[in-house]
């Protein structure tokens, strides 16, 4: 189940990264945030940022040029 969805398709960095941070900040502990996009650098940067923020990286999935990243908020 996804609690918050952020679609960053067509957006270049840092927009997807900022969108992810805002969504995680807004989420409650245990919520799952899903970010979708197609910018290749963001697909690598977002998981690194998730780790740096101490959140849980649930899944990184690719379909063609589009990717989906799911994050579970585990701490404030």
- Joined together, the tokens standing for residue 56 give 């849980």
CA 41 to chain centre: 13
For residue 28, say if its preceding peptide bond is cis, omega within 30 degrees of 0: no
Catalytic residue numbers read 13
- Joined together, the tokens standing for residue 53 give 């923020």
């Amino acid at each position: 189940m996804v609690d918050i969805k952020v679609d960053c398709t067509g957006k270049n960095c840092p927009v997807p990264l900022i969108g992810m941070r805002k969504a995680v900040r807004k989420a409650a502990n245990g919520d799952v945030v899903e970010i979708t996009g197609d910018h290749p650098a963001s697909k690598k940067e977002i998981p690194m940022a998730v780790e740096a923020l101490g959140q849980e990286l649930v899944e990184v999935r690719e379909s063609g040029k589009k990717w989906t990243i799911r994050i579970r908020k585990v701490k404030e």
